[in-house]
Amino acid sequence: MTLSTETTIGELGIAMGLIETEIDHIVAELGREPNRVELAIFAGMWSEHCSYKSTRELLGTLPTTGDRVLAGPGAHAGAVDVGEGWALAFKIESHNHPSAVEPYQGAATGVGGILRDVVAQGARPVAVMDALCFGDPETPRTRWLQDGVVAGIGGYGNSYGVPNVGGVTVYDQRYEGNPLVNALAAGLVRHDRMRTAAATGPGNALLIVGATTGRDGILGAAFASEELGEDHEHAARRSHVQVGDPFMGKKLMQAMLSLEDGLVACQDLGACGIACATSEMAAAGGSGFDVDLAAVPQREAGMEPFEILLSESQERFMLVVERDQVDVALAHFRAHGVHAAVCGSVTDSGRLRVHHGGETVVDLPAVFVADGTPPQVWDRGSLPTPIAYPGFAAPADLGAVLLDLLGTPGIADVSWLYERYDQTVGNRTVRGPGQGEAAVQKLPGSAAGYAISLVGDGTRCNADPHLGTQSLLGEAVRNLACVGATAVAVSDGINAGSPSNPAEFTRLAETIRGLGDGLRTLGIPVTGGNCSLYNESPSGPIPPTPIIGVIGVIDDITTIPSPAMTPGEVLLLMGTPPRDPGLSTYGRLMTGSEGPAPVVDLEADRRLAAFLVAQSALGRIRTAKDAGSGGLAVALAKLAIRSRIGVDVGGDWSDWALFGEGSGMAWATAGEDEAGSIVEAGAESGVRVERIGTVSGPRFVISGVIDLSLNELTTAYFGGRE
């Protein structure tokens, strides 16, 4: 990008992504026209990616407080009390557009960026999870994107030394032109070691530490706030994509977390780089900065001021250090093999002043830069009413239907994908991918632990964004309960199309409304997250796709259910099989129609979750699996495949009872001596529990309507790979 002197400020601002009313607002507030460097800062900081100008009011309706919340929205990462003086810092971020253009580096730097958010909170990263949405799995483009994204996630996380403990992968042709790459990171920190971004103390030093600053990723935040056009793979787009170095990232993490004395505030350098970090740190602390760009270590000669300020080079932090501890801090970072330099100081002016070559190139109110974006107001439109599936007779061979569902992308095995990730580094993971319904890790030196569930699906929300988001919340809570964990907090990633389209803005608003209503029903707060808009390509917008990460706490990890059944256990059905043909993979398979809204009952999910946690804590539940995509039959088949053992189920089953999708349903197993007690406890807790079968043998049998060998199930699920 060239800051031409031949164009007006208005023309240049619009070319950078600002709109006319925002430019007018800047001029009115400053009482002058911004210079070209200042204008570039506003273009980045007031982009959708950084300012949330289209969603701030919507997100402000979400519940954000709770007994365990230690840091909420606006912090580096949300943080919750997980027991024994430990906090778990966690957050979701998206890297969708960079991954569409350059899948390896887009995904790798997405992981690197979210890890730095956790480190900035003072936490040592202990887990990464990813949510990936791709188009048709058979197309060359999807295979190219998938291979690059998976390699990028693994390449960064494995080298950094953080385990990838699970995630979700969705395939839908509506993501063909605009894939989604969302990552969640979590880290542990003692309560008294959590850090802030608030810069205070006039005269304290501003340090930049980590990698040198180059020209990669300049105005990447603005690029992330645009729709992808026909030229989205063009080299000009790729210049917006950052390049990661996980080995430098790991050294920097170690240096950051071992810095003991003199640290006042810190912030990682991500979107909009130095411009973002300095303005936000000053705004948070009610202070200002004087910054000298010549002191910033640079890896390319001749960088212009706006390039240094807006560079999104990876593996960098900005710190405020007490003035008498500067030499100690510089020596500390250099001893860890990372660059460190004093590049400014804190002032009490409230202004961001930036100097370069003896010239003041920026002089702006820090709060105005960081928080002054005018809200973007969009029109709302009407959404089509979800239509029931066309009537059809139940197929004669329900076993064949089950095999078809097990092989459906999004249900079928993806172990070939996540096996490329290190899942156990750090020796903290108790349950990883394929070992249960949620990831489980232990607290240091303790029997207590925590669990993480990550869910996401655009199909449910395209039919009805409000109910679809609640359906996902219910699924995440059930997942946690199946490993004995009580849900305590959420981080969300909201992915949507262009808000300038009234229908797409309405879908976005309804998604967030559904999230808020669901959280209030379940009594769970949100501690932060991410909104990614303008996820559109010439082939159209993506379906609204919330990615929801939920943290649960476990008092004693020795009581959590096993991931696998064993012979002789009693099979229990919890909840009521669906009777109504709500939105389901089965309905789409049989009709080719998207179908009606999902069936949601969050009160049933809440009761089931509390019941499963209580019974697990008593040691009664041997294994548990909730019913999600594909319904009860698919859930039980996956459990049988994972356990390598068959089941014999009784009862009267219709096709919708087998394959319908709803709320409040799970399978569990128990010993013969405990099954009766669980049934009785269910009646007292308002949860229907039925003793319905046994675990044994080599076949999967459901009451005369399905009779398949384990080999048939396995072949369908693994696609012949195992």
- The tens digit of pLDDT for each residue in 211-220 reads 999 998 786 5
pTM to 2 decimals? 0.94
49 as an active site residue: the answer is yes
Nearest to 169, CA basis, from 140, 149, 186: 149
pLDDT tens readout for residues 529-580: 999 999 999 889 999 999 999 999 999 999 999 999 999 999 999 999 998 7
Q: Which residue has the tokens 């100081």?
A: 345
Report which secondary-structure segment, H or E, holds 344: strand 339-347
The residues with which 572 forms a beta bridge, in sequence order, are 668, 691
466 as an active site residue: the answer is no
For the chain, list the domains and their CATH numbers. Answer: 72-194+427-559 (3.30.1330.10), 196-371 (3.90.650.10), 561-718 (3.90.650.10)
The answer, yes or no, to whether residue 229 has pLDDT greater than 80, is: no
Per-residue pLDDT, 539: 86
Tokens standing for residue 177: 């032109």
Answer yes or no: are the C-beta atoms of 10 and 496 closer than 8 Å.
no
Say what percent of the chain tops pLDDT 90.
87
CA 132 to chain centre: 10
One-letter amino acid for residue 552 of the chain: G
The answer, yes or no, to whether residue 74 has pLDDT greater than 70, is: yes
Answer yes or no: are the C-beta atoms of 186 and 87 closer than 8 Å.
no
pLDDT tens readout for residues 101-150: 999 999 999 999 999 999 999 999 999 999 999 999 999 999 999 999 99
- Kindly list the distances between the CA atom of residue 197 and the CA atoms of 140, 281, 309, in Å, as whole numbers in the listed order: 44, 5, 18
The answer, yes or no, to whether residue 231 has pLDDT greater than 60, is: no
Angstrom distance (rounded) from CA 680 to CA 687: 10
Angstrom distance (rounded) from CA 453 to CA 468: 17
Confidence of residue 1 (pLDDT cuts 50, 70, 90): very low
The answer, yes or no, to whether residue 373 has pLDDT greater than 50, is: yes
Q: Which is the catalytic residue, given 25, 76, 95, 339?
A: 95
- Kindly list the distances between the CA atom of residue 600 and the CA atoms of 468, 482, 583, 624, in Å, as whole numbers in the listed order: 8, 19, 10, 21
What is the overall mean pLDDT for the chain?
93
Q: For the chain, percent helix, then strand, then coil, each to nearest 5?
A: 40, 25, 40
Nearest to 351, CA basis, from 264, 294, 283, 268: 283
Per-residue pLDDT, 581: 81
One-letter amino acid for residue 454 of the chain: L
Angstrom distance (rounded) from CA 449 to CA 436: 15
Per-residue pLDDT, 721: 52
The answer, yes or no, to whether residue 238 has pLDDT greater than 70, is: no
What's the whole-number mean pLDDT along residues 84-94? 97
Return the DSSP state at 93.
Answer: E
Per-residue pLDDT, 5: 58
Query: Residue 345: CB partners within 8 Å, gap ≥ 6?
Result: 202, 203, 204, 205, 206, 289, 290
Per-residue pLDDT, 230: 55
Per-residue pLDDT, 224: 46
Confidence of residue 253 (pLDDT cuts 50, 70, 90): very high
Confidence of residue 375 (pLDDT cuts 50, 70, 90): very high
Nearest to 175, CA basis, from 149, 142, 153: 142
Q: What radius of gyration do the chain's Cα atoms show? A: 26
Mode of pairing for the β-strands spanning 486-495 and 526-532: parallel
Q: By three-state DSSP, how is residue 275 classified?
A: helix
Phi/psi region, residue 476 (left: phi>0; alpha: psi -120 to 50; beta: rest), is: alpha
End-to-end alpha carbon distance in the chain: 50
pLDDT tens readout for residues 470-499: 999 999 999 999 999 999 999 999 999 999
Answer yes or no: are the C-beta atoms of 176 and 143 closer than 8 Å.
no
Per-residue pLDDT, 234: 47
Tokens standing for residue 434: 């394929």
Report which secondary-structure segment, H or E, holds 553: strand 545-554
Per-residue pLDDT, 227: 53
pLDDT tens readout for residues 284-322: 999 999 999 999 999 999 999 999 999 999 999 999 999
